[in-house]
Chain A
Amino acid sequence: MIEVSGLSKKYGHFEALKSISFRVEKGTVFGFIGRNGAGKTTTMNILTGLLKFDKGKVLIKGKELSKSRRSLSKIIGYLPESPSFYDYMNSYEYLNFIGGIIGYNKNLKKTTGELLEKVKLTKHGKRRIGVYSRGMKQRLALAVAFMNSPEILFLDEPASALDPGGRKEMLELIEDLKDEKITIFLSTHILNDAEKVCDRICIIDEGRILLTEQLSRLYKTHIQPILDIEFEDNPEDFITPIKKLDWVENIKIERHTASIYVKDIDTARREILKEISKLDTGIISYRIRKSTLEDIFMRMVGKNELI
């Protein structure tokens, strides 16, 4: 559905995208994850035709984006991170305005009503958008993205402005869209959300793609056990000898808990208690856990920082 190869973009001397390539299959949810400033929104803006790129090729449904920008925009829906509307309009008027641009005259009134119902804004549909909360604006933006039943949806941090209830609804909505075979390109830094709904994950950092993998395969190939050890005292003061061990890759400390990322779980199991007993401190708890998407992400990004 979407094929990106060697895509580069510069802002002055700053290289926002460094020849990135990936592929998104039809009807899948593609999770595009990265830190703030990694290049997620730049990629989104390029793929939605809002931003021009310097080098590379973008094919959407086999058509070259740079040549078929306008015709492709008819099958694309975009939810930007910070949607901006005309504050003096109400939701019905804004959806009618966008419907007019698309050339969607067939039952426009009925469609806008249904869209507002879908995003639970019917009650506020006739209020000025200027008085909406950020979450309400996000929901209206989603209705705009849904207009004309797009085949591809680009969602840039769709849940970032929503309350926990709204976030849950958003994820359920994405699940429903998946069932309707709509291709979803989801940019997020909420890894828990990505883990719940995505089929494929792509990690971007500093304008480079670090990894693109099927989520199910990702756990298999990048699985790395972590030892979570809770100490009586702050481990910052005495953890240095453990860091130097061959089988330890990285240590993350949060309050009194040290999460030890290990290269070899068998050696770690045998050695860890011996090594800890050499430290002058007490242990409250000790457990082995499997890595989550967040752990994989932190590892990949951590490695990239060393490059």
Chain B
Amino acid sequence: MNSFKAYFKKEATEAVRTNKYLILFTGTVFWALLNPLMLKLLPVIMENYVTTEIAELFSYVSRDNAFTNFLGDLFEMGTLFMVFSLMGLIAGEVYGKKLTFPYSRGASPAGMVLAKYIHYLVTINVLILIAFITNYFYIIYLFTDGILSIGIVLKSALLYMLYYSMLLSILIFFSSILKRSILAGITTLVLGYGLSIFNQFRNIRSYFPNYLLYKAADLINVFDSSLIATVIISLFIIILLVCLTIYRMKKIDIS
């Protein structure tokens, strides 16, 4: 517990001093603000470059369209921001020899890994929640029509939170086994983006975590029984990878 507390505090200090909170805020809440605004201004911007008929196609955007558009952007850009800002979470510590003192003074690898994981799990989930709520009220203010409600938005937010919790566990695991932070980041990105391909296959897609993103954008029916397998598998991946990371950090040579 001592190591958990010390590392949790250290992660919070580090996130403030190295602008990680700001980067993660930009990757989530900033898009929530920018996305609806861009959609609203797009017809005006396009007016001078395309014909009136084509410009008219962009002029009608419902609340539902605006929200799903935000979800797409959040997945593409938010993932990049998260992965590149947190890819050195463990690799940076190991190969920067930052663990020599803590380990020589009895730091618990489990406490350290859990503190890092839980700190950023809470941070990312809070930011996702803020981003979704901000985006919802902004959309309500700027657009009309559609079935979008705060209930749907919160359900979608929940699925995104689970997805990013899973992605964070992948990132922390690769960061513990790969020497270079950038390799951990790229591997996580490839998996994060790559697994979306399974959303094309109706029969197997619910067995892959990226189905959470697919269902988050299914505004008519966000929660249904098809998610049970996805949620169980995602939680299993999180627990497995966090345990493997702890095991790795127990076995690693710090020198």
Contacts and interface: CB of A to CB of B under 8 A. Distances in A.
B100 A101 contact: no
Interface residues of B, number: 27
A282 interface: no
Given A50-B253, A50-B254, A70-B108, A103 B2 contact: yes
Interface stretch (A57-65, A84-92, A181-189, A194-202): A84-92
Nearest to A104: B2
Contacts of A144: 101, 105
Given A45-B255, A78-B101, A98-B101, A86 B106 contact: no
Given A50-B255, A100-B9, A103-B2, A73 B100 contact: no
Interface in B92-139: 96-98, 100-108
B6 A97 contact: yes
Contact of B97 (A73, A74, A82, A103): A82
Nearest to A102: B105
B13 interface: yes
Nearest to B102: A101
Contacts of B254: 45, 50-51
Given A73-B104, A89-B13, A101-B102, A41 B96 contact: no
Given A74-B106, A100-B2, A100-B5, A88 B14 contact: yes
A85 B98 contact: yes
A76 B100 contact: no
Contacts of A101: 2-3, 6-7, 102, 105-107
Interface in B223-255: 251, 253-255
A233 B106 CA distance: 60
A144 B253 CA distance: 21
B253 A51 contact: yes
Contacts of A86: 10, 14, 98
B200 interface: no
A146 B251 CA distance: 26
B17 interface: yes
B101 A88 contact: no
Contacts of A78: 100-101, 104-105
B253 A147 contact: no
A84 B2 contact: no
A141 B101 CA distance: 8
A73 B106 CA distance: 5
Given A100-B5, A102-B2, 16 more contacts: A49-B104, A50-B100, A50-B253, A50-B255, A52-B253, A71-B106, A73-B103, A73-B105, A84-B97, A86-B14, A88-B14, A98-B101, A98-B105, A100-B2, A101-B7, A102-B106
